[in-house]
Amino acid sequence: MSKEILSTNGEKLGEITLEKSVFGVEPNLHVMHLALRRQLNNARQGNACTKTRAEVAGGGRKPWKQKGTGRARAGSLRSPLFAGGGVIFGPKPRSYAFNMPQKARQLALRSALSAREAQLVVVKDFSTITEPKTKLMVSALKSLNVSGKVLIIANPKADENKNLELSSRNIPSVKLLLPTNLNVKDLLEADFVVMTESAVNEITERLQ
């Protein structure tokens, strides 16, 4: 499998061979679903909290005497039966996170990359963006013929990409990720995936 390597001006600079074991596997929908659920669950705060009758302030005095009033016996106004009382079996802070084996997580990433192979655009680097200006980034995306939600996978700390982060952060439809932060959710949500040549090599080395 090979892909053209483009400059951000849309010129063809060469070709790169995509490893079939990373970019050409049969997508495993079940494992991708698990990885997506894990990512969404791990992002949940899980800090919803209600007070039980033991935690609600007040209610120390017995509201009325035990016998003789004709009313049901009551020991505290903070019982869940009264307004302002505690909550029965309400939510408490908890973690929704669950784990997946490393090999399953890697399979999910390989499946997502393979499912997105047709929408993958490989660029040499972003050195043509010489200033941190949004209009240069918009022009580059137009030259690469990508639109909609665009996921850019590159290292903005590298010298050749030094203006990438500042140029892309004001475009709502563009998301920038480090190759090490590659995840199933962003890959599946994107309409196009733009990767630098070095990012392709780094991801291939990690997922082979």
* DSSP state string for 127-167: TT--S--HHHHHHHHHHTT--SSEEEE--TTSGGGTTHHHH
Q: Give pLDDT tens digits for 127-163.
A: 888 888 999 989 989 888 888 899 999 988 888 888 8
- pLDDT range class, residue 15, cuts 50, 70, 90: confident
Mean pLDDT of the chain: 91
- Structural domains in the chain? 2-45+101-207 (3.40.1370.10), 50-90 (no CATH)
Average pLDDT over every residue of 14-38: 91
Percent of the chain with pLDDT over 90: 58
Could you tell me the pTM of the whole model?
Answer: 0.80
Mean pLDDT of the region 72-97: 94
Q: What is the mean pLDDT of residues 175-190?
A: 92
Res 157: pLDDT: 83
In the numeric block, which tokens belong to residue 179? 């190759």
Per-residue pLDDT band for 102 (boundaries 50, 70, 90) equals: very high
